[in-house]
Amino acid sequence: MSENIKLYKYRWVILAIFMFVNVTIQMLWITYAPITSLAAEFYGVTDLQIGMLSMLFMIAFIPLSIPASWVIDTYGYRAAVSIGAVMMGVFGLLRGFAGSNYTLVFWSTVGIAIAQPFLLNAWTTVPAKWFSIKERATGVGLITLASLIGTGIGMVVTPILIESGAAISTIQIIYGGITAFSSLVFILLARETPPTPPCVDGGDTRALMLDGLKSALKIRSFWIYLFIAFISLSIFNGITTWVEAIIKPKGFSPIDAGTIGALMLVGGLLGAVLIPIFSDKQGKRKPYLLLGVVLSIPGLLGLAFFNSLLLLFISAFVIGFFLISTGPIGMQYSAEITYPTPEGTSNGLIQLFGQASFVFVYIMEAMKTPDGSFTPSLLLAAGLLILAAILITRMKESTASHKSEELSNQG
């Protein structure tokens, strides 16, 4: 049986172009965050209205996640991602052409936000179509890496372009142009499936979406991971959003805040790639989920209590490295334990719970002390990670990797 299984080199092209579109949509999402006050002045609105341009992505995701998953599972990831890619390319350009008109910028951002679920919900589907089961967590890790790179570009490059004299509308046109190019590349090069499946016969057969959804929601371990995904993304998005406010009471500057945010992203980049590789090699998910959650806690406590800039830098890196690594491993774990639920459906539910993290972002600000300290909310976050660690010990390990290897060896 194993001689009929072939992995095509073109799978890396598929992964690369999918990573490219994920880079660009993250650039569009975070682009205003590092220049909030300047953008508010440029458009003649409040800081909150600028913040809403980022929040729209999380808000739109909630009602659109399940429909986007249905499109992915019914018509294939190529059609679904192409829809999202075209929308983000068109509306990305329109946002730049809107100039200083905030209303047009707002509605263009709505269009980009609608496109996002068609990309994010395909994170596990693409590796499942083209990669062997022992490569899939690594594939999802690389897609996570692309997402973090896009966020990093938006946070770092945008202020640099502003300092070089570029207008905010011009920057949006640049980002929109890059996005449109990534969309075109995807549409031209993407293929739905390889000539032959990357796994044993029947190993890639999935249930219809509704049946798969009902099946997945009966699995206790999947519910536990949905909660863990919510906690992980809540903490990451909360720190990313309020990083300047978190360190300001300690006497540090916005430049220091930018460095902390960048180090957290760099840590996330490394963790999202390296740790899933070990998970794939051992065919185990649960120990690495537990590792990521537990070792994130010291980083959170460091961010809450350290007053040394170096120690804050280290804490941010630790949070990024371990916390972000739980994402690709958890997504692949969920795809395995919910079989035969379609990957788009299980991943869509995970992304849905993760995008609900905007609730925690607001809670963090509400818990701020009169002197501006975020220590209470950071301690709450650490407590939630302890709870998550306890819950992981009650999850069942995925056996999909072992079964795949056994079936291949039988051939």
- What pLDDT digit, counting tens, does each position of 141-187 carry? 788 788 888 888 887 788 888 888 899 999 999 999 999 999 999 99
Q: How far is CA 381 from CA 134, 193, 296, 342, in A?
A: 32, 41, 10, 32
User: Quick check: is 2 in a domain?
Assistant: no
Domain count for the chain, please give it.
Answer: 2
Which pLDDT belongs to residue 209? 52
Same domain for 274 and 136: no
d(CA 203, CA 228): 27
Same domain for 193 and 213: no
Residue 381, pLDDT above cutoff 90: yes
d(CA 217, CA 269): 31
Which pLDDT belongs to residue 176? 93
Exposure letters 327-362 (e unless 16+ CB within 10 A, then b): bbbbbbbbbbbbbebbbbbbbbbbbbbbbbbbebbe
Which pLDDT belongs to residue 200? 60
Residue 88, domain extent? 7-205
* pTM given for the model: 0.73
CB of 124 within 8 A of CB of 140?
Answer: yes
Rg of the Cα atoms in the chain: 21
User: Quick check: is 306 in a domain?
Assistant: yes
207: Cα within 13 Å, side-chain hemisphere? 15
The arithmetic mean of pLDDT across residues 63-83, rounded, is 90
Which pLDDT belongs to residue 256? 77
Percentage of the residues of the chain whose pLDDT score is greater than 70? 91
User: Quick check: is 1 in a domain?
Assistant: no
Residue 240, pLDDT above cutoff 50: yes
User: Quick check: is 410 in a domain?
Assistant: no
User: Quick check: is 214 in a domain?
Assistant: yes
Which pLDDT belongs to residue 62? 82
Same domain for 329 and 216: yes
Same domain for 348 and 261: yes
User: Quick check: is 61 in a domain?
Assistant: yes
CB of 19 within 8 A of CB of 146?
Answer: yes
d(CA 122, CA 72): 7
Same domain for 160 and 17: yes
Number of H helices, E strands in the chain: 17, 0
Which pLDDT belongs to residue 343? 66
How many other β-carbons are positioned within 10 Å of the β-carbon of residue 287?
14
CA of residue 157 relative to chain centroid, distance: 20
More confident residue, 393 or 51: 393
More confident residue, 357 or 79: 79
Residue 188, pLDDT above cutoff 90: yes
User: Quick check: is 411 in a domain?
Assistant: no
Same domain for 299 and 187: no
* Placement of tokens 């798969």 in the chain: 212
10 pLDDT tier (thresholds 50, 70, 90): very high
> Tokens representing 120?
């994010």
Let me know how long the chain is: 411
Percentage of the residues of the chain whose pLDDT score is greater than 90? 37
The arithmetic mean of pLDDT across residues 4-30, rounded, is 90
Residue 385, pLDDT above cutoff 50: yes
The arithmetic mean of pLDDT across residues 377-405, rounded, is 83
d(CA 143, CA 150): 11
258 pLDDT tier (thresholds 50, 70, 90): confident
Each as own residue / partner, the long-range contacts of residues 228-231 (CB below 8 Å, 24 or more positions apart, any chain) are 228/289, 228/293, 228/326, 228/330, 228/388, 228/391, 228/392, 229/327, 229/330, 229/350, 229/353, 229/354, 230/353, 230/354, 230/356, 230/357, 231/381, 231/384, 231/385, 231/387, 231/388
Same domain for 273 and 395: yes
Smallest CA-to-CA distance from 312 within 363, 371, 267 is with 267
Look at residues 164, 184, 205 and tell me which one is the last residue of a structural domain.
205
The arithmetic mean of pLDDT across residues 47-55, rounded, is 82
User: Quick check: is 251 in a domain?
Assistant: yes
The arithmetic mean of pLDDT across residues 382-406, rounded, is 79
- Mean pLDDT (the chain, rounded): 84
CB of 259 within 8 A of CB of 313?
Answer: yes
CB of 112 within 8 A of CB of 64?
Answer: no
Look at residues 205, 230, 261 and tell me which one is the last residue of a structural domain.
205
CB under 8 Å to 366, separation ≥6 — which residues?
none
**Peptide bond before residue 127 is cis, with ω within 30 degrees of 0:** no
pLDDT in tens, 316-373: 999 999 998 888 888 888 878 887 776 667 777 777 777 777 788 778 878 888 888 8
Residue 102, pLDDT above cutoff 60: yes
User: CATH code at 237?
Assistant: 1.20.1250.20
CB of 237 within 8 A of CB of 361?
Answer: yes
Residue 77, pLDDT above cutoff 60: yes
Q: From its phi and psi, is residue 293 left (phi > 0), alpha (psi between -120 and 50) or beta?
A: alpha
Same domain for 215 and 112: no
Same domain for 85 and 45: yes
Same domain for 231 and 193: no
SS (H, E, C) 175-189: HHHHHHHHHHHHHHH
How many other β-carbons are positioned within 10 Å of the β-carbon of residue 109?
27
Q: How far is CA 284 from CA 317, 365, 397, 399, 405, in A?
A: 25, 37, 7, 8, 13
Same domain for 333 and 187: no
d(CA 64, CA 115): 9
Q: Quote the DSSP letter at residue 195.
A: S
Q: Torsion angle of alpha carbons 238, 89, 175, 39, nearest 10°?
A: -60
The arithmetic mean of pLDDT across residues 213-218, rounded, is 73
Same domain for 323 and 257: yes
> Tokens representing 51?
């913040």
d(CA 300, CA 381): 8
